[in-house]
Structure 1
Amino acid sequence: MQYLEGRKYVVQGIFLVVALIFLTRLFFMQVLDGTYKLAADKNTLQRIVQTPYRGLIYDRKDQLLVQNTPVYDLMVVPREVKDLDSARFCELLQIPIEELRTGLLAAKKYSRNKASPLVQNLTTPDLAIISDQLADFPGFRVQARMARAYRTPNLAHALGYVGAITPAFLEKPKYAKYRPGENVGISGLEAYYEETLMGRRGVQYKMVNVRGIEKGKFRDGEFDTLSVAGQDLHLSIDAELQAYGEKLLAGRRGSIVAIDPKTGEILAFVSVPNYDPQLLTGKGSGNRYMALLNNKERPLFNRPLMATYPPGSVFKLVNELVALQLGVVKPYTAFECNQKLVRCTHRHEPPNNVSVAIKQSCNPYFYQVMRAAVVRGQSRNRFEDARLGLGQWQKMVKSFGLGEKLGVDMAQEKRGLIPSPDYYDKRLGHHRWNYKTVYSLSIGQGEIGITGLQMANVLATIANRGWYYTPHFVRSIGNGGPLPQFRERHYTAIDTTLFKYIIPGMMQVVDGNGGTGNLASLSQFGISVAGKTGTVQNPHGYDHATFAAFAPANDPKIAIAVFIENSGFGGTSAAPAAGLLIEKYLRGKVAPHRKTWEDWVMYGNFTKKLH
């Protein structure tokens, strides 16, 4: 036992000696020898995050639409700011003292030890002015990054924009890897494909002295990682067609959506009023955004995706197909133009088949078509009978992609509304409504609401005789192809053999004698157009005008929906606009003698009768 006791003291003694050696060495290094203190004071380890090169965006013909341009941010680390001469600093940066104070408070709130942006989007000339004097202001340094530059003044609502990430974004798990001052897609394709476009960040560790001068890599870059550039987006948009559509509708309110029926690719996506996407880049973009936001014309409002309207007479095509599927009408079914049922806005002979009815857009005819589909004597109670019939009708109509989000590759898409029996029960009461209550649905009026994108997709579906691909903007990502969800066919509840019965009538709308859409005719160029006009009742002013079509009728390459607010009859305003756009896409140009119609679409008074 005495031996073990002595051994314990020996071990304790060894530990004590080692501890004294370390303490002595530490005292010498920190107190007597100033070499290490001087090195620590002179050199600081900087962790520099390398933002990757954001992916570029091209149109379907590989025309560059969105690129990157270098800008510089002035960063601040609050803990390192010493004896700041605020007046001199503000004079150097050309900023008001209030902006400096607000920026420093925000930086301290974020972190006293981490860098955050104080002044963003400095240009190269700005940097040249401040770089020589910045060393006099400890705690501040310049960080280079790439900002977006838009090479087209068009397509703003589809492209969206990129901006500095906000505190609200930083709170979301999706943006956990972002830091204050970094850019992020805020809207449109820039936001939807943010992860694809952003790429992967890299990190560099460098040694710098107190004046911000770089002293070299930390441990020869052992801990550095390389950034990975974002992937490019190749869009289906035809930039020339897009620019032409925006030109035609400049000064109006409305939308144009054009789709390639065979692929679901969106060819044009026009929303007016609009804005130049370059406005939301660079210094002062925040002020310009607020000006757009407060503009009473609502240029930021994405009409093709977010504005829902009754489709008007275009919807008669869907109602006819539903009735044909249910077997309650035949292609040769005749109905009297009985204006005691509903007013008819066109003078014509009684339609003796569906083609004539579509050509004439006879309201009483389609009133009776939908009544045949909804009121089928399934119950002895007329209220319950209407309820059962409308439920089946709604299910078949929704198979066209209506009343639901189509799944386009962009956020903020609205569902629209295809009213159900439950909707009317809630609004009017159970067994307190019947077909006479909801008959306006037969002519595309009443509670129904669809978007411009949905209307174009309905025409693409008819062009394909009963199926569609989900409409989408991106043809390929990098060197790959479109996303898998855009290669899946969606079929309607209508037998594909029935679509052939409505297309002849649609062709007569445009090229038939007395058709309601003659101003969209391209027969002089050997192009057959199948379409349908619509005039949407508006209780707040002049009616809205719409026209939807596809061409060539027998081998469709484009389906289009034009919606112009407060423009009266669809055949007068929307139809010529659609005809010009179809001509532009299929022929690559618009004939010089057609300038008269261009001027009419751009400057004409649509609320007056066209002679």
Structure 2
Amino acid sequence: MFEGRRLILFLVFVSIGLVFIGKLFYLQLLDDTYEKAADNNAIRKIIQVPFRGEVYDRKGKLIVYNTPVYDVYITPRKAVVQDTNRFCKLFGVTRGYFDTVTKQARAYSRVKPSLFLKHLTKEDFARIQDAMVDYPGFSITTTAFRTYQSIAFSNALGYVAEINPNSLKDQRDDYYRQGDYVGISGIESYYEDVLRGQRGVKYRMVNSNGVEKGDYKKGKLDVNPVAGKNLYTSIDIRLQEYADSLMMHKVGSVVAIEPSTGEILTMVSAPSYDPSLLAGRNFSKYYQKLALDPLKPLINRPPSAYYRPGSTFKLVQALVGQQLGILSAGSVFGHAGAPVKCHAHNTSHNDLHNAIQWSCNPYFYHAFRKILYDGTTGNTFERSAQGLQRWSELVANFGFGRKLGVDVSNEKKGNLPTVDYYNKVYKGENTWKFSNIYSLSIGEGELVVSPLKMANFAAIIANRGWYIPPHLVKGVGEKRTMDPFYRNPVSVGVDAKYFPVVIQGMQDAVLHGTVGADGRIPDITMCGKTGTSQNKKGKDHSIFIAFAPKDNPKIAIAVFVENAGFGGFAAAPIASLIIEKYLKGRVDRKDVETKFMNMSYLANVTYNRPVKKVTSDSLRK
């Protein structure tokens, strides 16, 4: 018994001894962790930043590329500067700059590199390269800043800027370092993960004085950087530049879409800015100037600006009413009993086509009332709620009140009033009815849309009931890959047979309706609808949506010009010129082109105006 216990104890001690011997063998002969840790004292790790992916237009024209520059980084724990004045003179910085940046670097991390000086030119680099050996703790990384072939695509493209501390702290994959650049807005932000590429790293042996002695382990541990993937956009940069020139001296948006593909041909936000000025050392100064500009040039208006659609929304009422079986091409309504005014036109046979051609407010007042009340039961409050419920469900199919999913970073949903919305506004059920919300009939009231949504709506009509989600990028990388989301058609739930009367009404609105002479293209059949978005402060906003040609449409467009008045005389001519330019490759109406290139509506613009509801009561006045 006692001998057995001795044997057990002996085996336990032997086992422990074997474990220790095995561990020592592993550490000394197999594990090189400590060897590498020691080697790191004489190894310099150099991060190689890849070139950002380039951006091309739909015809293969280069829009954005990279210009190589050099950034200086500081690692505070290793940094030694014996003669600060000499250092500052060499690098062209002040003593105050040196003290501030080194202090910020120490606050960020004493062991991680921080950006000390950015965007040195080739000449600057050649001047300081030999002197770098005298300043351990300072290293140079090759990088690049964005260079632009055209400034017309700025807002949709977006810009890159130094990553802010919060984003640096919250990053998921620990990819970025302080001083790195990231996409801030537009497609630069949306496609950041593919544009940024993959970092490389080189290991260099250095002596005690910091002088490089060659590659570490013959470069076997080095990782080459992989450049970011290129973006091939759907933008026609020449059309973009033309549309941009037409929107000079104006505030507003232009969005043009190829209906069959959902590809965005042009997306203009006015006023805009020069993106090259945000790419260099003067970023902070120029950004502050843009941010304080009351015209807000940094905003990408097409997917994010809020407007009431005005009379362009009457086309939605016409389609929804027909789909519900409440309206038909032969439905006739007069002006009697309507609290809204109308344009002067022949009302002897005021059918759906005539109402669209002349944008008849009383017609759509009565049509919307019929849509809400027909086929519903109960009192007027209950019937209004039932009717609005089925109406809003159909209208939402067109993309109103939700995001379309465009590939930019600032798309807004807008507002499509629903039963729940009005229950909150009026504080309970059975507290509102048609007379409280009839302004929706003509695209006013609480209804809010973006120019992008209205361009997509024009594409829906051009396609007779479907759309492909609008997008700016049609291919990524050499294989031109693309998200399947931007290939699949979306039905809006309205039968194709209900579109012809709407389209014919739009054609006649252009030829001899609400569109002025400047908005007509003699040899192109354009179908369009004017809109005037009511504005409580200043002149109304001018809106026009259209597509062309009538058969097999190639372009759908929405133009919004703030404080420019009636849609037929401001937005419509601009849209017609862009359509003519795209379909013909030239503009023959030089007098109209010159007129609107020089036209300015800036004197009418009211700054910082709040968005106010245009109520049914205000429409009575």
TM-score (norm 1): 0.90
8 Å contact from structure 2 (residues 248, 597) kept in 1: no
- Alignment of 1:491 with 2:491, yes or no, is yes
Q: Residue 157 of structure 1 aligns with which residue?
A: 155
Secondary structure at the counterpart of residue 132 of structure 1 = helix
Please name the residue that 1:586 is paired with: 583
Name the SS for the 1:267 alignment partner: strand
Secondary structure of the structure 1 residue equivalent to 2:362: helix
Q: Conserved in 2, the CA contact under 8 Å of 1:542 and 1:607? A: no
Amino acid at match of 1:551: A
In structure 2, which of residues 257, 262, 265 is the aligned counterpart of residue 264 of structure 1? 262
Structure 2 residue 56 is matched with structure 1 residue 58: yes
Partner of 2:378: 380
Given that 2:563 and 2:601 are in contact with CA atoms closer than 8 Å, whether structure 1 keeps it comes out as no
Q: Which amino acid aligns with 1:600?
A: F
| Inter-partner Cα distance in structure 2 for 1:219 and 1:259 | 55
Structure 2 residue 445 is matched with structure 1 residue 428: no
Match of 2:78 among 80, 83, 87: 80
Q: 2:548 maps to which residue?
A: 551
Q: Name whichever of 216-225 and 174-183 sits farther off.
A: 174-183
| Deviates further, 255-264 or 49-58 | 49-58
1:455-494 matches, within 5 Å, as 455-478=454-477, 479-494=479-494
CA deviation after TM superposition for structure 1 residue 340, in Å:
4.1
Distance 1:343 1:219, change over 3 A: same
* Segment of structure 1 superposing worse, 339-348 or 361-370: 339-348
Is the Cα–Cα contact under 8 Å of residues 70 and 143 in structure 2 kept in the other structure?
yes
Q: 2:441 — aligned with what?
A: 442
Partner residue of 1:365?
363
CA distance in structure 2 between the aligned counterparts of 1:518 and 1:464, rounded to whole angstroms: 27
One-letter amino acid matched to 1:365:
Y
Distance 1:580-1:498 versus aligned 2 partners, 3 A rule: same
Q: CA deviation at 1:459?
A: 0.5
| Superposed displacement of residue 481, structure 1 | 3.9
Distance in 2 (CA, whole Å) between partners of 1:277 and 1:419 is: 37
How far apart are the structure 2 equivalents of 1:606 and 1:344? Answer: 28
User: TM (normalized to structure 2)?
Assistant: 0.88
The alignment partner of 1:436 has SS state of helix
Task: Determine the C-alpha separation between the residues in 2 that align with 1:231 and 1:305.
Answer: 25
The runs of at least 4 aligned residues of structure 1 exceeding 4 Å deviation read: 604-608
Distance across 1 between alignment mates of 2:328 and 2:563: 36
CA distance in 2, matches of 1:91, 1:350: 85
Q: 1:120 to 1:47 in 2, by over 3 A?
A: same
Distance (whole Å) between structure 2 residues aligned to residue 493 and residue 54 of structure 1: 42
1:48 Cα offset (Å): 1.6
Q: Distance in 1 between matches of 2:463 and 2:549?
A: 12
CA distance in 2: counterparts of 1:180 and 1:96, whole angstroms? 21
Match of 1:239 among 219, 237, 249: 237
C-alpha distance 595-207 of structure 1, shift in aligned 2 (>3 A): farther
Provide the rounded CA distance (Å) in 1 between the counterparts of 2:173 and 2:69.
22
Pick closer, same or farther for the CA change 1:597–1:146 going to 2, 3 Å: closer
Paired residues of 1:258 and 1:267 also in contact (CA < 8 A):
yes
Q: Partners in 2 of 1:92 and 1:380 — Cα distance?
A: 85
Give, in whole Å, the separation in 1 of the partners of 2:372 and 2:388.
Answer: 5
Change (3 A) 1:604 1:339: farther
Q: Compute the displacement of 1:328 (Å).
A: 1.1
- For the residue of structure 2 that corresponds to 1:567, the secondary structure is coil
Hey, what's the Cα distance between the residues in 2 that align with 1:541 and 1:366?
26
Equivalent position of 1:603 in the other structure: 599
Q: 1:481 to 1:138 in 2, by over 3 A?
A: closer
- Structure 1 stretch 48-57 or stretch 317-326: which is displaced more? 48-57
Residue in 2 aligned with 1:563?
A: 560
| 1:145 maps to amino acid | T
1:577 aligns with 2:574: yes
Q: State the alpha-carbon separation in 1 of the partners of residues 555 and 547 from structure 2.
A: 6
Q: Deviations over 1:302-345 (max 9, x none)?
A: 11011111000000000111111111111011111237431114
Q: Is the 8 A contact 2:304 2:450 kept in 1?
A: yes
Q: Write out aligned runs for 1:269-284 (5 A).
A: 269-284=267-282
Aligned equivalents of 1:154, 1:601: Cα separation in 2: 15
Letter in 2 for 1:401: G
Q: Is the 1:510–1:519 Cα contact (8 Å) retained in structure 2?
A: no
Task: Please say if residues 360 and 509 of structure 1, whose CA atoms lie closer than 8 Å, have aligned partners that are also in contact.
Answer: yes
Change (3 A) 1:377 1:116: same
Conserved 8 A contact 2:334-2:347: no
What is the letter of the counterpart of residue 435 of structure 2?
Answer: K
Note if 1:130 corresponds to 2:121.
Answer: no
Residues 190-233 of structure 1 deviation map (CA, whole Å, 9 limit, x = unaligned): 11111111222222211123454321111112222222222111
Provide the C-alpha distance between the structure 1 equivalents of 2:443 and 2:535, rounded to a whole number of angstroms: 13
Instruction: Work out whether residues 396 and 416 of structure 2, in 8 Å CA contact, stay in contact via their aligned partners in 1.
Output: yes
> Residues 291, 84 of structure 1: CA spacing in aligned structure 2 closer, same or farther, 3 A cutoff?
farther
How far, CA to CA, are the matches of 2:596 and 2:106 in structure 1?
A: 59
**2:611 corresponding residue in structure 1:** none
Shift of 1:606: 10
| Superposed counterparts of 1:118-197, under 5 Å | 118-197=116-195
Contiguous gaps of at least 5 residues in structure 2: 25-34, 605-621
Alpha-carbon distance between aligned partners in 1 of 2:343 and 2:538, rounded to the nearest angstrom: 18
Number of equivalenced pairs: 578
Between the aligned partners of 2:601 and 2:276, the Cα distance in structure 1 is 32
- Look up the SS of the partner of 1:78 in the other structure: coil
**CA contact under 8 A between 1:75 and 1:141: conserved in structure 2?**
yes
- Work out the CA distance in 1 between the residues paired with 2:134 and 2:169: 35
Note the alpha carbon deviations across 1:35-55, whole angstroms, 9 max, x for none. x9xx989x7211122222221
> What are the Cα deviations for residues 262-282 of structure 1, in whole angstroms up to 9, with x where unaligned?
000000000001001111102
CA RMSD between the two structures: 2.6
SS in 2 for 1:426: helix
Q: Match for 1:72: what amino acid?
A: Y
Q: CA deviation at 1:83?
A: 4.7
Is the contact between residue 348 and residue 360 of structure 1 (CA under 8 Å) also seen in structure 2?
A: no
